[in-house]
Structure 1
C-alpha cells in the first residue's frame, strides 16, 4: 500500500510520532506480561494498525479481533477534537487517547516520551530524543480549576455520614491528600427564580425576603478531602495511564453532617443529577514516590476518608499497606462496620486490606487509642523499619502523638492538617500553621497552598 507523504512540518511530526509509538509497542509491549498490551492470549493479539485519516479515524490504534480497543490521535487539529469531545477546552499540541469503553483523555507528548525512554532503559533514547526536539513547545495541560460537576450519587451510608460522588466534565488529575472547595448551597450566589422571589433589574434594587436575610446560609465554600477518584478504564493497570488527563472523571468526598451546620446540612440535600460548583483539586498532596515497601496509614475519625484514595494508589503500585483506624465511638467511624466485633470494612476488604479498628469507648474493634495497635506492630517488626513510611490524617492530638512515634522509631511520616479555609487558594491567609524547616526560623505557612500534606517533624505542634 502506498503511503501519502505528509505535506507539512506538523504532518511529518505526526507521522513520525505515530510510527515510533507503533514500533515501540511491537518491540516492548505487544507480547509482554505487563505494561501497554492487549488483553487475551499473545497468539490472539492483533498487529498494530497505523492510520493517517482525520478524526474520527485515529492515527494509531491497537486492534483485537477486528475492533480497535485503544486509539491515539496524534497532535490533532482543534476542529477534529471538537468532534470527539465537544465543549472541552483544547490545547492543540497533545495526544488524544480513547479506549473501547469510550473513555477519553489527553496526554502531553513530552512527558509521555520521557516515560517511554525510562521504560526502555535508554534502548530507544536516540530516536526519542530526536522526536522530543521536533515536538512543539506546548504548555502543560491545565484543565480549569473550577468546574460545574454533576452529582452521580449522594447517600447517607451511616447516621450523619454521607458519600457524595460527582462527575466532572474536565478536571485536573488529583493526588492523594488534595482537597476540593465545594459550594454547598448555591442560593446566596444565584438569581435563579427557582431560589429567589425577585429578578434583578438595572432600574430597581432587588427586594429580599426576610428569611433570605436571617436564615443561616453557607456563603463560603467548604473544603473536603478527596476520598476516591475514578477515571479511564477500570480494569487497566498500565503505568503510562497515570499520564492521562481524563474527561468525565468521578470524585468522591465523604463527610459528616454537623448538627445545625449550614454547610454540611445544605450539602446533604443534593441528589443525583444536580449540578454542583467545585474548585479543585487544590493543595499539596502526599508525596507517594518513591514508593515505600510498607506504608502505615493512620486515620482518626472523619480524617480517615482521604486514606482510601491513598491506599488505592499505593496498592496499585505494589506497596504493602497496613491500615489503622480510630475514633471516639462506633458512630464516629466514617465507614460501614461489619463482622462480629465491628472491625470489618468491606471497602478496604475489596482492596485486600484488613484495618485495625479502635474506639475510645470500646463500642467497636479494639478498646483504646489507635496508637495502641500501631505501636504493637512497630515493636513486632523493628527489623523492617527502614522500609516503612507513615501517612496520617485526623485530629491534631493524634497527629502530635504520631510525631513522637515517628521520632522514636525513626520513620518518615507525612500528615494531612485540617483547618477552616475560607478561600482554599491562599488569598485569605486564614488557615495558617506554625512550621520550622531545618536551619531556618519558625514561621507561619498556609495549609491550603503549602499543605495540607506536611512532614510531621516540620510542624510545631505546641505553637
Structure 2
C-alpha cells in the first residue's frame, strides 16, 4: 500500500468553497487509474483523526502530479483549503476500483452532476489519450457551477450542459438531457438522487454503465465496513460491498437505491 508525503504545487479557489489542488506525487501519479481516490490526512496532527477520501481529479504523469478537486464541507476539507504551495500532505493510495476503459466501438457518454465531474475529468483525460471521443453531459444548479467546460472541449470531447435555472444549455436535469441522446456506454458520478434516476434510464434502454459512489469512510482500506453499500447478488439476494475497496465504481445495475 502506497503512502506518499506529497508537496502542494498549486492551489486555486475556482468558486467560493470549491478548490483545485495539484500535488507532486510521482509514484502515486504513475499508478493512478480513473475512478480511484486518495485518502488524505488533512491536518498536521492526529486531529482530525480520520483521513478524508478525495477523488483523483487529474494526473500529469510526465510531471508526476496528481490534482484534486474538492468542495469545503467540513473541518477536514477546510484544513485542505488553507494549504499553500510548498506545504505537504500525507496521502494513502491510489485506492479503490476504477472505471472500466471502453474499447474502440460504440458511442461513449459521461454524465456528471455538479462536483461529480471530479473523478470523471481524469477519465476524460485517459479517453482523450486513447483517441476515444465522449459526449459529456454536465449538470448543475446554474451556469457558474458547470466546471471545466473549456478544458473538456480542449481534450476533444463534446459538452452538453444542463442547468436547473436555464442559464446554460438545457433547462432541466442532466439525466433528462442524456435520455434524449442515449449512448452505448455511460460513466457517471454525482448526487445519489441523480445516479438513481440515471440507473433507471440505463436499465430502461439496456445501456452498459458504471457509476462512482460517494460514501463516508473510516479506514479507506476495507477493514471498518463503515462505507458498505447494498448491491444485487445472485437471484433475488442482496449483499453489502465496501465502497472503498470493491468501489467506488460499480456497474450501474448492481447498486440498490433505497
* Corresponding residue to 1:256 among 71, 75, 78: 71
CA-to-partner distance for each residue in 1:176-222, whole Å, 9 max, x for gaps?
A: 10000111111x33xxxxxxxxxxxxxxxxxxxxxxxxxxx532111
Max Rg structure? 1
Structure 1 residue 225 and structure 2 residue 55: aligned? yes
Q: Are the aligned partners of 1:184 and 1:264 in contact in 2 as well (CA < 8 Å)?
A: yes
Give the total of aligned pairs: 257
1:289 positional shift: 4.2
* Corresponding residue to 2:229 among 424, 429, 433: 433
* Residue of structure 2 equivalent to 1:178: 36
Q: Are the aligned partners of 1:304 and 1:394 in contact in 2 as well (CA < 8 Å)?
A: yes
CA-to-partner distance for each residue in 1:55-114, whole Å, 9 max, x for gaps?
A: xxxxxxxxxxxxxxxxxxxxxxxxxxxxxxxxxxxxxxxxxxxxxxxxxxxxxxxxxxxx
Structure 1 residue 267 and structure 2 residue 71: aligned? no
* Structure with the higher strand share, 1 or 2: 2
5 Å matches for 1:26-37?
A: none
Measured in 1, the distance between the counterparts of 2:170 and 2:16 equals 21
Q: Are the aligned partners of 2:134 and 2:158 in contact in 1 as well (CA < 8 Å)?
A: no
By relative contact order (CA 8 Å, sep 6+), the higher-ranking structure is 2
Q: Are the aligned partners of 1:291 and 1:314 in contact in 2 as well (CA < 8 Å)?
A: no
1:307 positional shift: 1.0
Measured in 2, the distance between the counterparts of 1:222 and 1:331 equals 26
Measured in 1, the distance between the counterparts of 2:79 and 2:227 equals 23
CA-to-partner distance for each residue in 1:294-326, whole Å, 9 max, x for gaps?
A: 211001111112111111111221222000011
5 Å matches for 1:332-411?
A: 332-333=145-146, 335=147, 345-378=149-182, 388-411=184-207
Q: Are the aligned partners of 1:180 and 1:225 in contact in 2 as well (CA < 8 Å)?
A: yes
1:249 positional shift: 1.7
Give TM-score, length-normalised by structure 2: 0.93
Q: Are the aligned partners of 2:22 and 2:66 in contact in 1 as well (CA < 8 Å)?
A: yes
Measured in 2, the distance between the counterparts of 1:349 and 1:413 equals 22
Measured in 2, the distance between the counterparts of 1:310 and 1:292 equals 17
1:158 positional shift: 1.9
What SS does the aligned partner of 1:406 have? helix
1:437 positional shift: 2.6
Q: Are the aligned partners of 1:292 and 1:389 in contact in 2 as well (CA < 8 Å)?
A: no
Q: Are the aligned partners of 2:39 and 2:92 in contact in 1 as well (CA < 8 Å)?
A: yes
1:365 positional shift: 3.0
Measured in 1, the distance between the counterparts of 2:164 and 2:105 equals 30
* Residue of structure 2 equivalent to 1:119: none
* Structure with the higher helix share, 1 or 2: 1
* Residue of structure 2 equivalent to 1:149: 6
1:441 positional shift: 2.1
1:160 positional shift: 1.4
Q: Are the aligned partners of 1:414 and 1:454 in contact in 2 as well (CA < 8 Å)?
A: yes
Tell me: CA distance 1:449–1:299, structure 2 relative to 1, closer, same or farther (3 Å): same
Tell me: CA distance 1:287–1:169, structure 2 relative to 1, closer, same or farther (3 Å): closer
Give TM-score, length-normalised by structure 1: 0.53
Measured in 2, the distance between the counterparts of 1:459 and 1:169 equals 34
1:350 positional shift: 1.2
What SS does the aligned partner of 1:449 have? coil
* Residue of structure 2 equivalent to 1:419: 215
CA-to-partner distance for each residue in 1:229-281, whole Å, 9 max, x for gaps?
A: 1113xxxxxxxxxxxxxxx62100101122xx211111011111111100010
5 Å matches for 1:47-58?
A: none
* Residue of structure 1 equivalent to 2:135: 322
CA-to-partner distance for each residue in 1:422-459, whole Å, 9 max, x for gaps?
A: 11101111001001134362011100000011011111
Measured in 1, the distance between the counterparts of 2:161 and 2:238 equals 36
Tell me: CA distance 1:370–1:289, structure 2 relative to 1, closer, same or farther (3 Å): closer
* Residue of structure 2 equivalent to 1:448: 244
What SS does the aligned partner of 1:278 have? strand
What SS does the aligned partner of 1:421 have? coil
* Corresponding residue to 1:280 among 93, 111, 117: 93
5 Å matches for 1:291-310?
A: 291-310=104-123
Measured in 1, the distance between the counterparts of 2:240 and 2:94 equals 23
Tell me: CA distance 1:158–1:433, structure 2 relative to 1, closer, same or farther (3 Å): same
